[in-house]
A and B are shown apart, each in its own frame.
Chain A
Amino acid sequence: MRFKIFRWKAIGPLLLLFAIITLLVVIFAEPIARDTTEEASTELLGTQVDVGKLDLHPRESSVELRALQIANPFALARNLLEADEIRLKLNPAALAEKKLVIEQLSLTGMRFGTDRKTPARPVKGGGYAPQLLRTVEQWTKQFDVPLLSLTPIDTIRQLALDPTQLTTIREAQALVARTDSTRNTLEQGFQQLNIGQTVDSARGLAQRLSATDPKKLGVEGTRQAIASVQQTLTEIDAAKKRVEELERSTRAGVELLGQGTKVLDQARQKDFAFARSLLKLPTFAAPDIGNAFFGKVSIERFKQAVYWAELAQEYMPPGLLPRPAPGPQRLRAAGQNIQFPKENEFPAFLLEQGKLDFSIGGTSAVRGAYAATVRGLTSTPSLYGQPMLLSASRRAGGSALADINVHAVLDHVTSRTRDSASARLRGIQLPSFDIPGVPFRVDPGTGTSNLDFSIKGGGRLFGRWSIASQRVRWGADTASRSLNDIERLVWRVVSGLSDLEVVAELSGSMASPKLEVRSNLDEAIAKRLKAVIGEEVARAERLVRTKVDSLVADKVEPAKRQVAAVQTQANQRIQAERQRLDQVEQQLQAELKRLTGGIVPGIELPKIKL
């Protein structure tokens, strides 16, 4: 019987199966694509993305999305962006290579900062964006923004310091332990020097030689005596070197202890600050007031800029090297998808040209039609070869008093990346915010807000956020509690001001950023506070110093004395050992001179046969 390789009769059912699969794809492609879009973009952006409807138009190779909502990752009850309709014209050739190249994007009915019907779900999991969100939250915590303390000064009577809370005491105890350890190490070092044996042996030799007449020794005896002296001198040299070595290590150890005493002084300053914070003394230093009033709200602005810049750094890396990305979620392990960019080919994602039309309605001065363009948003900037550009401005001439201008450049074409963005908002309704630490709320009303932000490769940061308003309104929450005397004083100062100007500057690096906040309120509040409570605060600070000093004195002074004792002892012992060695060396040199009759030691005498 001939063996058949093919089962021809199965072609029919197989074709039927393919037909069913095709039918299922046609029926379910749009809902699946919608779910996939929501899932992928939520993971990508780290915030909930909702798509109301997705229509595929295969003949025009385009996709239409409706009712798009992107939640604000920093305020889940609000949308970052909402759009009625988005139309994407895709490149079919790129699509065949499983690449998403958007030739044209048009976005209409765009709104910002709208309220959500239901708050967005926080994105959890190990994706990059949720991790970044957590990292950025952590990043903001490193800013030392003081709270404005306006507690009445009579609380100074309640200053109760627990000695275990004081850094100075801990440092002093650690220093004492280090001092003991250094003393033991030095003792061991002196014992290992073994100078005594060398000195005794040298001294014995010098005494024996001094009692000997060189004329009676004979040539051989003299030669042997000279050899013994030279050998002992060599041993003394070696001992001296050991002493020098010990001196070096002693100096290092002693210097370290000296630094420890400096640390004690620094710790005491910290403890003063800590004890001061327990008293909640009001501050009237102008920079502190600026930071306390507007530091938190400034950090919130910069936090968002950092988040989006870091996302761009991750998703738009420079270079053409293969790069891994997490694989798809499935029952089996996800693995990693490795991308292999190639010159003169499509990148995996590219938005060539995007046109975004949006309008701002209502009666505000910024109402009108606006247009934004995005160009060159890509996953492989090196392939595209140009930085990504974003700009948004009013489409037609409007009020000179109100305008919105946004520009952003993300340059990841080479490894020297540089992202910068600037936003100028004039005549807009500025959001109101609470002043931390005090029951005040400020409503800047209509004003100007500017934000400049840039981050360069290597993490160098620059940020400047400013707001200005001439119709600021202040509110005090007196429902929960009444204001104390100092709060009332500050309230009188701020409530009398209708102008507000705040400038926050961010500098430094991602690892150690610096924030400086200034406002027109700082000096006004500081002067007023200083005039009224300056003397009382100074008295309270003196009390704090006395209290801290009394608590730490019995730990710090003995520690410093021990350090000084070890330092003195170590120096004295080193000197003593050196003197002993010098003394016996001189004795031996004298004996050598006597033996050789003045010939310089080291010159070998001629051998004479008798």
Chain B
Amino acid sequence: MLTLLKLIQSIIKTLHSEGTPGQVAAGIAIGSVLGLTPLMNVHNLVIFSLVVLLNVSFGGAMLGWALFVPVGFLLDPLFNAIGLGLLQSPSLRPLWTSLTNTSLLPYTNFNNTIVLGSFVGWLLLTLPIFFAARYGVIRYRATIGERVRQSRFYKAVTASQVYNWYRMFRPS
């Protein structure tokens, strides 16, 4: 329940944050990789570091993660097919062979069909996600955003302690 509450809080705060629609959309686009690819992988640690270090919306990234988890599950068969196609492609075999025999790189699990397929899938979807998210945030703020901001629900959410923590990572 608390997790769900925090998720709602994160979504609302993100959409009303001072961040530009571009920063929120960039956060969603980068955060979506956490949902699209299997979580427990080294590349997601790098992605998380980027979300924290880059001046993008942290809430947007969390929103992207939450939104794309079910999408990731749904698209697993497609990701598997993409990954299998890439890993079994004769022209790419020298590349994979070389990467497999390089220090540390195998720990990224790139030779797993789902990991590679979903990561490549995310790379292909990043720009569409970014533009779609930016358009969505702009439209939201221009239409119902102000009414939500004036609502008691929004005020209750933003008044909570968690919000103070969140402000630390909001885009400047």
Residues of chain A at the chain B interface (Cβ within 8 Å): 3-7, 9-11, 13-14, 93, 96-99, 322, 327-328, 330, 332-342, 345-346
Within 8 A of A (CB), among B108-157: 109, 111-115, 117
Question: Given contacts A7-B169, A332-B73, are A340 and B111 in contact (CB under 8 A)?
Answer: yes
* Closest beta carbon of chain A to B70's beta carbon, Å: 11
Measured between alpha carbons, how far is A388 from B147 in the docked complex, in Å?
74
* Closest beta carbon of chain B to A136's beta carbon, Å: 29
Q: Do A339 and B80 touch across chains, with their CB atoms under 8 A apart?
A: no
Pick from B40, B101, B113: contact of A97, CB under 8 Å: B101
* Closest beta carbon of chain B to A437's beta carbon, Å: 52
27 A–B pairs (Cβ distance < 8 Å), ordered by A: A4-B55, A7-B169, A9-B168, A10-B53, A10-B169, A13-B52, A13-B168, A14-B53, A97-B104, A322-B88, A330-B38, A332-B73, A332-B76, A335-B80, A335-B112, A335-B115, A336-B112, A338-B87, A338-B111, A339-B100, A340-B93, A340-B96, A340-B111, A342-B97, A342-B98, A342-B101, A346-B101
* Closest beta carbon of chain A to B25's beta carbon, Å: 15
Find chain B residues with CB under 8 A from A340 CB. Answer: 93, 96-97, 100-101, 111
Q: Do A335 and B113 touch across chains, with their CB atoms under 8 A apart?
A: yes
Beta-carbon nearest neighbor of A4 in chain B: B55
Beta-carbon nearest neighbor of B38 in chain A: A332
* Closest beta carbon of chain A to B90's beta carbon, Å: 10
Residue B103 is within 8 A (CB to CB) of chain A in the complex: yes
Q: Do A334 and B172 touch across chains, with their CB atoms under 8 A apart?
A: no
Find chain A residues with CB under 8 A from B103 CB. Answer: 93, 96-97
Find chain B residues with CB under 8 A from A99 CB. Answer: 106
Q: Do A96 and B55 touch across chains, with their CB atoms under 8 A apart?
A: no
Beta-carbon nearest neighbor of B103 in chain A: A96
Q: Do A338 and B54 touch across chains, with their CB atoms under 8 A apart?
A: no
* Closest beta carbon of chain A to B87's beta carbon, Å: 4
B interface: dominant SS: helix
Residue B166 is within 8 A (CB to CB) of chain A in the complex: no
Find chain B residues with CB under 8 A from A6 CB. Answer: 53-55
Question: Given contacts A332-B76, A340-B97, are A7 and B112 in contact (CB under 8 A)?
Answer: no
Q: Do B55 and A322 touch across chains, with their CB atoms under 8 A apart?
A: no
Pick from B72, B101, B171: contact of A332, CB under 8 Å: B72
Question: Given contacts A6-B55, A10-B52, are A97 and B102 in contact (CB under 8 A)?
Answer: yes
Beta-carbon nearest neighbor of B22 in chain A: A3
Residue B49 is within 8 A (CB to CB) of chain A in the complex: yes
Measured between alpha carbons, how far is A4 from B171 in the docked complex, in Å?
9
Measured between alpha carbons, how far is A351 from B76 in the docked complex, in Å?
35
Find chain A residues with CB under 8 A from B98 CB. Answer: 342
Residue B163 is within 8 A (CB to CB) of chain A in the complex: no
Q: Do B115 and A330 touch across chains, with their CB atoms under 8 A apart?
A: no
Find chain B residues with CB under 8 A from A97 CB. Answer: 100-104, 106
Question: Given contacts A7-B53, A7-B169, A11-B53, are A337 and B76 in contact (CB under 8 A)?
Answer: no
Q: Do B169 and A345 touch across chains, with their CB atoms under 8 A apart?
A: no
Residue B84 is within 8 A (CB to CB) of chain A in the complex: yes
Measured between alpha carbons, how far is A14 from B104 in the docked complex, in Å?
22
Find chain B residues with CB under 8 A from A328 CB. Answer: 112
Find chain B residues with CB under 8 A from A338 CB. Answer: 87-88, 96, 111, 113
Find chain A residues with CB under 8 A from B53 CB. Answer: 6-7, 10-11, 14
Find chain B residues with CB under 8 A from A93 CB. Answer: 103
Question: Given contacts A342-B101, A345-B101, are A336 and B52 in contact (CB under 8 A)?
Answer: no
Find chain A residues with CB under 8 A from B115 CB. Answer: 335
Find chain A residues with CB under 8 A from B88 CB. Answer: 322, 338
Question: Given contacts A96-B104, A338-B113, A340-B96, are A333 and B77 in contact (CB under 8 A)?
Answer: yes
Question: Given contacts A97-B102, A97-B103, A338-B88, are A4 and B172 in contact (CB under 8 A)?
Answer: yes
Q: Do A5 and B104 touch across chains, with their CB atoms under 8 A apart?
A: no
B157-172: CB near A (< 8 Å → 1, else 0) gives 0000000000011011
Q: Do B97 and A336 touch across chains, with their CB atoms under 8 A apart?
A: no
Find chain B residues with CB under 8 A from A11 CB. Answer: 53
Beta-carbon nearest neighbor of A98 in chain B: B106
Residue B83 is within 8 A (CB to CB) of chain A in the complex: yes
Beta-carbon nearest neighbor of B115 in chain A: A335
Q: Do A337 and B38 touch across chains, with their CB atoms under 8 A apart?
A: no
The interface centre, meaning the residue of A10, A97, A334, A335 with most chain B CB atoms within 10 A of its CB, is A335
Measured between alpha carbons, how far is A340 from B54 in the docked complex, in Å?
35
Beta-carbon nearest neighbor of B97 in chain A: A340
Pick from A14, A330, A335: contact of B83, CB under 8 Å: A335
Within 8 A of A (CB), among B50-103: 52-55, 72-73, 76-77, 79-80, 83-84, 87-88, 93, 96-98, 100-103
Pick from A322, A333, A341: contact of B80, CB under 8 Å: A333
* Closest beta carbon of chain B to A323's beta carbon, Å: 11
Find chain B residues with CB under 8 A from A98 CB. Answer: 106-107
Instruction: List 7 extra interface pairs beyond A10-B169, A97-B100, A345-B101, CB under 8 A.
Output: A7-B171, A96-B104, A322-B96, A335-B112, A335-B117, A339-B111, A341-B97
